[in-house]
Structure 1
């Protein structure tokens, strides 16, 4: 199923990097700060020096390299899993996760931080600012969780 998962990873990576290029170089969101698109959605520039939800951002200068190393190791494991699976949904989910992880690794190497810019909010609630890579990772993990639940029902 690696023939299915790798194109998904590449698609996620291209969409992630293209969106970040547009945010940084065409729109110049760092200079603008935030733009309201809808009553529930803004483009808001955030440089995430940590990982998910800004965790581990206090690692200093070694942080981006440490997080990059961990992400590369995780992607290698995901590719092994992808090569071994016989389930299309798992291969697609793993591709989404791997593509997103690689997109964020590229940011850490280029900028020392991840480019986050999608800000959803409603009724006084605000979600963390994220990017295409983050959304792909979350969706991929959700598919793996759902697939796991259904696989247990089929097996039991």
Structure 2
């Protein structure tokens, strides 16, 4: 069976969700990052435990159950739309990109549902400048968006018709 954009995207969703959750569970419950933080890996990169009640950069912070469920509903709606786009994807680049985004979104949504916050761990900083704290799901989302942008800017219209038709 050929690897269609749908199948590639579905595999990316599953792999992203599994790796993200395994990483979070290991850091929180086995390694015990909360008691050991910060773990300095380099002068500019630490592993810490941050509880993010909102979305990126703690925007739309959800402090109450109603706000948390509102963010969950927004995530479910956005993920459903992205899933529909994935179903209709015609290239492997789009399928992979959407799969990474959906997998990352589901990983963070699971955290919000299970813990009431998104667990973030990785912190880049340089002197007093601090980049935001993120997790594997966030990395997958950024890579997925980058793949969609790459497809849009550099590959749009260049894929052969048979390759596009195979994804339908």
* TM-score when normalising by structure 1: 0.92
Give the 4+ runs in structure 1 shifted more than 3 A.
151-155
Superimposed CA distance per residue, residues 93-148 of structure 1 (whole angstroms, 9 cap, x where no aligned partner): 00000000000010001000000000112354321000000111011111111211
Cα contact 2:62–2:71 (8 A) shared by 1:
no
The whole-number CA distance in structure 2 between the counterparts of 1:50 and 1:98 is 18
CA-atom RMSD, angstroms?
1.7
Rg larger in structure: 2
Shift of 1:27: 1.4
Q: What is the DSSP-based 3-state SS (H/G/I as helix, E as strand, rest coil) of the residue aligned with 1:128?
A: strand
- 1:139 aligned residue: 143
Q: Flag structure 2 segments of 5+ consecutive residues without an equivalent.
A: 160-168
Task: Measure the CA separation in 2 of the matches of 1:8 and 1:90.
Answer: 11
Q: Unpaired segments of 5 or more residues in structure 1?
A: none
State the number of aligned residues: 155
Q: Which moved more, 1:91-100 or 1:113-122?
A: 113-122
1:43 alignment partner in structure 2:
47
Supply the distance in 2 between the matched residues of 1:143 and 1:122 (Cα, whole angstroms).
Answer: 28
1:88 Cα deviation after fit: 0.4
- Contact 2:72 2:109 (8 Å CA) reproduced: yes
Give the corresponding residue for 1:67.
71
Where 2:64 maps in the other structure, the secondary structure is helix
Supply the distance in 2 between the matched residues of 1:59 and 1:39 (Cα, whole angstroms). Answer: 33
Q: Residue 125 in 1 paired to residue 129 in 2?
A: yes
Using the TM superposition, name which of 45-54 and 141-150 deviates more.
Answer: 141-150
Which SS does the other structure have where 1:126 is aligned?
A: strand
More helix by share: 1
Partner of 1:26: 30
1: CA distance between counterparts of 2:143 and 2:11?
16
> Which residue does the alignment assign to 1:110?
114
Q: Partners of 1:144 and 1:63 in 2: how far apart?
A: 30
